[in-house]
Amino acid sequence: MQSKQYSVKVYECSIDDEERFISFFNTNYALFKDHLIVINGYLSQNIKEYLKSKSLTFINNIKLPRGRSRRAIEKEFSAQKREYDIDRIIAQTELQRLSNRLQNNLSVIDEIVRSGRVIEIDGDLLLLNRVNSGASIYTTGNLIITELVEGSIRCDGNFMIIMTSPKANVIFHGVEIDNKFLEDRLNRVELKGEEIVINPVFKKEMNWVS
């Protein structure tokens, strides 16, 4: 499939009086000859013929999508960044809460795990960076990954904290976890008895942040 994307200037108007409409475009033709003209309301044959004679491009009674302002985009980006920063703080708080249990058997890695790399840990692992597609992590203990996971994860600990993309393959105690439960946010995956329980870290642990 071939496609092109255009930036188009649009002028939107409605018709109250045919003569005034035609007079307006006669006077301002130079301003609108390169615009897409969106006309709301009844479009008579007389006006259609006039627009065609002027080679003006027009559509009638079509609702165009409204673009977002730069301020709106920046506001959304700031909100997403704020939530992401809060999630990181929560993950760090979770680690601190568990530190007494982990400190004698904890490995810490602060680098990107790139495609083709295999990391095998006998114990607990805290990973402070992302796991790229094609990389693999194996751990017999608990696992916390604070960045996006796109690779393969095998964890046999009591819990893991993780956020994945659709590319990831996550197996917890021999059970493959559907990525739809792990995408777009940090999640805590726990083994409770014979049951695997998944909870979003942000919602459940929000009261930890002061």
Q: Does residue 75 sit within a domain?
A: no
Percent share of the chain, pLDDT over 90: 23
Q: Which residues contact 139 (CB under 8 A, 6 or more apart)?
A: 120, 121, 123, 124, 125, 154, 155, 156, 157
Q: Beta partners for 94?
A: none
129 with 190, same domain? yes
Number of domains in the chain: 2
Q: Does residue 125 sit within a domain?
A: yes
In this predicted model, what pLDDT tens digit does every residue of 157-186 receive, in sequence order? Answer: 889 989 998 899 999 999 999 888 888 788
106 with 30, same domain? no
pLDDT averaged over every residue in the chain: 80
**Other beta carbons within 10 Å of 65:** 5
User: Quick one: average pLDDT of 22-35?
Assistant: 84
Structure tokens at 156: 């046999």
Q: Does residue 119 sit within a domain?
A: yes
**Reported confidence tier of residue 132, pLDDT bands at 50, 70, 90:** very high
CB 33 within 8 A of CB 51: no
86 with 176, same domain? yes
Q: Does residue 68 sit within a domain?
A: no
21 with 94, same domain? no
Q: What is the pLDDT of residue 79?
A: 63
CA angle, 122 as apex, 118 and 128 as ends, to 5°? 60
Among 60-69, 99-108, 124-133, which stretch is predicted with the lowest mean pLDDT?
Answer: 99-108
94 with 194, same domain? yes
CB 189 within 8 A of CB 197: yes
Q: Does residue 45 sit within a domain?
A: yes
Q: Does residue 70 sit within a domain?
A: no
- Which range marks the domain in which residue 55 is found? 10-60
In this predicted model, what pLDDT tens digit does every residue of 71-86 receive, in sequence order? Answer: 666 666 666 666 666 5
Taking 60 as the threshold, does the pLDDT of residue 138 lie above it? yes
Higher pLDDT, 112 or 31: 112
**Reported confidence tier of residue 104, pLDDT bands at 50, 70, 90:** low
Q: What is the pLDDT of residue 173?
A: 92
Taking 80 as the threshold, does the pLDDT of residue 210 lie above it? no
In this predicted model, what pLDDT tens digit does every residue of 50-71 receive, in sequence order? Answer: 888 888 888 888 877 666 666 6
198 with 142, same domain? yes
116 with 152, same domain? yes
Structure tokens at 87: 């999630």
86 with 119, same domain? yes
119 with 16, same domain? no
CB 138 within 8 A of CB 154: yes
In this prediction the pTM is 0.52
CA–CA separation, 111 and 126 (whole Å): 11
User: Quick one: average pLDDT of 21-48?
Assistant: 85
85 with 52, same domain? no
146 with 96, same domain? yes
179 with 132, same domain? yes
Angle separating helix axes 18-27 and 45-53, nearest 10 degrees: 10
Q: Does residue 150 sit within a domain?
A: yes
CA–CA separation, 70 and 175 (whole Å): 44
Q: CATH number of the domain that 144 lies in?
A: 2.160.20.70
Q: Does residue 98 sit within a domain?
A: yes
